[in-house]
Amino acid sequence: SLLSGSEGDLRRQLIEATRRVKSMSFSVRRIFGIDWDDYDRPQNMLATSTLPFRWAGQYTSDIVDWSKLSDEDFMEFPESFRSALALAVVNEASEIAGGNDIQRAREDGIVSESIGETTIAYRQGKSAVSTVSRTTWRILLKYMDNRVIVRRQ
């Protein structure tokens, strides 16, 4: 469990959980709840206080770039998003601490396990969600952008 280890273990688990969560693609548009049609308009056409000014414009940076984000920028995100991130990091750290028997078996190369008449077969290859655990992914899903747009330049 998360709290059963030492303080050093807890710190390592939280750092790894934060790294995993930051590797996900978060959409500025979805974080602020802005429609595609409104996102690309000039700032004066947006409803007031929907989006901080520097976040607006021409789809240049719809995905959050954590390396360029200051503490002040982070505090401009809605409280609901910041709370979801905090919950997701703690949840992911808990998943790291508890481990996942199926994931561990896959990493060890086990294809199936048999105990008596019961056999468990593991699917080959990676699971669909490999960056974070499934429960963490569900917490953050509404803020993520998994959409691919193909257009001409």
Q: pLDDT tens digits for 125-137? A: 655 546 788 889 8
Out of 22-26, 88-92, 119-123, least confident range = 119-123
pLDDT at residue number 22: 92
pLDDT at residue number 131: 78
Phi/psi for 144 (5° steps) reads: -95, 155
Global pTM exceeds 0.75: no
Residue 62 in contact with residue 29, Cβ under 8 Å?
A: yes
In the predicted model, what is the mean pLDDT of residues 65-83? 89
pLDDT at residue number 115: 82
- Which has more pLDDT, 105 or 64? 64
Three-class SS of residue 150? coil
Average pLDDT, the chain: 76
pLDDT at residue number 6: 82
pLDDT more than 70, % of the chain: 63
In the predicted model, what is the mean pLDDT of residues 25-49? 64
- The two counts, helices (H) then strands (E), for the chain are 7, 2
pLDDT at residue number 45: 47
Q: Looking at this protein, which amino acid is placed at residue 14?
A: L
